[in-house]
Amino acid sequence: MSDTHTRVDRHQLFAPVVLAVSVAVLLGATMSSQPYLVDFRVYMLGGAALSHPETLYSFAYSAQSPDQPLPFVYPPFAAVVFWPLTVLPVEVAGLLWQLAMLVAVYAIVWISQRMVGVGSHRSAMLWTAGVVWLEPVRIAVQLGQVGVFLTLAVLYAVYTNRWWLSGLLVGLAAGVKLTPAITGLYFLGVRRWSAAAFSAVVFFATVALSFLVVGDQVVHYFTQVMGDTSVNPIGIAINQSWRGAISRILGHDAGEGTLVLGAIAATAVLALLAWRALGAGSGPRDQLGSALVVQLFGLLISPISWIHHWVWVVPLAIWLLRGPWHDHPGARILGWGWLLVTFLGVPSMLASAEPSLWQISRPWYLAWAGLVYVVATLVTLVWIAVTGRRATAAGGIR
């Protein structure tokens, strides 16, 4: 065994300790930060509101967020899922929730490594110890956001070959929060018709179950709450979507105007080119890379993509740095670039310089700096498309 391998093995011996210390420090930091578990408290209140279903979409939690009272804006099925949490004191439930989130982050790393064919449990521990400090993960843990679990569900749905399990996971995830439904495009793209159809069946089953529990609140959600973005500060820097980015540049909410729709159309073309590149050559389609293209596309076209929605950066970094294209020019630059930007927390720093949550207008340099995740995504999609084209022309993709 070489000296390099010996050093790596010795480092990995301490992986459990490194992970435990990193997690302990992170939990300590989040407990002393504000707002602490604010989204989780909204979930708890949503579950408790099932005792009085007519209040599900009328309350707004403001104890920790007086400048932005937070209503329950998730599908009614989410309240059903969160209801069992209400039997515990919020402090106990919150800590258990955060610990479960950190286990989910480890699972995301482990599955990502399996999908690219590298790594071990100890290397997954070291990766987890590091990625929990990336802005999307760190903020998600601080707020107690459900998105980490949804990312894990979708990632495993892509990983497993069991159509019923894939459909079940994506359907349930979309029932809790609509954004995972974009995964249906992945299923259709790889011709997993049964998984796509069953995910739709499961999603509509969650709607039917919700109707039995909360009645016409289901109709209220899909006709009133679902498309209402007025309850959110659309222009704040932590909204890393096309709509948020363009709104900051214009100085007002761009809505679904020409610029936003044009940007979405251009992104769709880039995503399609990247998708085709990942299926080029004589080998099988790159499973993880293809899923990442779909999820990145979904993040940009969504009206609101808070930084904690970008947990997909974790499998993206693993794919870039350890995946089948890791030795192509630019892969390491992109991988380490994503890690650096998300570790520094550029959108959060920009948001701290904003005078008000609701003020969209800002100096031009702050507005353009707020494109950071958007530009990084576009560069990534272009790199995938160009790299795939070059590798195909050269006779194959390694």
Q: How does pLDDT run across 56-115, given as a tens digit for each residue?
A: 999 888 888 887 889 999 999 999 999 999 999 999 999 999 999 999 999 999 999 999
Phi then psi dihedrals of residue 60, to 5 deg: -145, 120
Residues of the chain with pLDDT > 90: what percent? 82
Has residue 280 got a pLDDT over 80? no
Give me the pLDDT at residue 12, please. Answer: 76
pLDDT number for residue 1: 42
* 170 and 183 Cβ atoms separated by less than 8 Å: yes
Summarize the confidence of residues 158-174 as an average pLDDT.
97
Q: Of 190, 188, 221, 171, whose CA–CA distance to 56 is shortest?
A: 221
Is the Cβ–Cβ distance between 378 and 267 less than 8 Å? yes
**What are 238-278's pLDDT values in tens digits?**
999 999 999 999 999 999 999 999 999 999 999 999 999 99
Question: Average pLDDT, stretch 179-204?
Answer: 97
Q: Looking at residue 64, what is its pLDDT?
A: 83
How would residue 3 be classed by pLDDT, with cut points 50, 70 and 90? very low
Instruction: Write out pLDDT tens, residues 119-131.
Output: 899 999 999 999 9
The residues near 131 (Cβ < 8 Å, ≥ 6 apart) are: 105, 109, 137, 314, 317
In the prediction, which pLDDT does 398 show? 47
Q: Indicate whether 353 pLDDT > 90.
A: no
Residue 151 binned pLDDT confidence (cut-offs 50, 70, 90): very high
Torsion over CA: 161, 162, 164, 167 (sign): negative
What's the whole-model pTM score? 0.94
- Give buried/exposed letters for 310-349 (b at 16+ CB in 10 A, else e): bbbbbbbbbbbbbbbbbebebbeebbebbbebbeebbbee
Contact 94, 82 (CB under 8 A): no
355, HSE (Cβ side, Cα atoms, 13 Å): 5
* Mean pLDDT, residues 304-317: 97
pLDDT-above-70 percentage for the chain: 95
Lowest mean pLDDT among 192-196, 236-240, 280-284: 280-284
Report CA dihedral (121, 133, 103, 155) to the nearest 10 degrees.
-80
DSSP bridge pairs for 70: 61
Q: Extract the tokens encoding 34.
A: 């504000």
**Which region, left, alpha or beta, applies to residue 236 given φ > 0 means left and ψ of -120 to 50 means alpha?**
beta
Q: How confident is the model at residue 284 (pLDDT cuts 50, 70, 90)?
A: confident
Whether 200 and 174 have beta carbons less than 8 Å apart is answered as no
